[in-house]
Amino acid sequence: MHIFVYIHMYTYTCAYSCIHTCIRIHAHICIHPHVYVYMCIFMYKHMYTYTCAY
């Protein structure tokens, strides 16, 4: 339950940051924004699942 809430929270935070980074940096990084966002989400999930479990 705890982990699920963390994943949810950081997925949104992460997606938001990714979109902003995307806007700030040159457009060629945004060719595949979905890949970028999913990669970011995957990293956050991993990180916060461990933090939370700990």
- Domain extent, residue 19, equals 2-53
**What pLDDT is attached to residue 8?**
61
**Rounded Cα distance, 13 and 18, in Å:** 9
The whole-model pTM stands at 0.29
The H helix count followed by the E strand count for the chain is: 2, 0
What is the residue-wise DSSP string for 29-48? Answer: GGGSHHHHHHHHHHHHHHHH
Residue by residue, pLDDT tens for the chain (54 residues) are 555 665 666 666 666 666 666 555 555 555 555 666 666 667 766 666 666 555
Number of domains in the chain: 1
